[in-house]
């Protein structure tokens, strides 16, 4: 199968087409969950931050590390009120 050279970094470390597809889809799903996470869905801010860190750790495990600046922005953009 031919893959555009600009997409090779997504497939780094994958040995089969199925493995590469699954790896990419799972990391995209984790990132979508991270973006959709809202503090309003949790009883406390600590619970929200714990879930955020959990998803971030899973994303890092899938090979997609997010920069601290991006994580801070994601958290601050969701906080309302006195925060």
CA nearest to 78, candidates 59, 52, 58, 55? 52
Predicted structure pTM score: 0.68
- Average pLDDT score over residue span 13-42: 77
Please classify residue 83 by burial: count the beta carbons closer than 10 Å to its beta carbon, then call 0-12 exposed, 13-18 middle and 19+ buried.
exposed
CA nearest to 74, candidates 31, 41, 42? 31
Q: For the chain, give the mean pLDDT.
A: 79
Q: Which tens digit of pLDDT belongs to each residue from 49-79?
A: 999 999 998 888 777 778 899 999 999 999 8
- Average pLDDT score over residue span 35-54: 93
Terminal-to-terminal C-alpha distance of the chain? 50
């Amino acid at each position: 199968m031919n893959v555009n050279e600009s997409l090779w970094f997504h497939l780094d470390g994958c040995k089969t087409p199925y493995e590469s597809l699954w790896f990419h889809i799972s990391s995209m799903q984790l990132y979508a969950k991270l973006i959709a996470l809202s503090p309003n869905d949790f009883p406390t801010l600590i619970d929200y931050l714990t879930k955020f860190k959990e998803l971030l750790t899973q994303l890092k495990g899938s090979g997609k590390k997010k920069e601290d600046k991006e994580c801070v922005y994601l958290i601050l953009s969701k906080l309302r009120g006195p925060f």
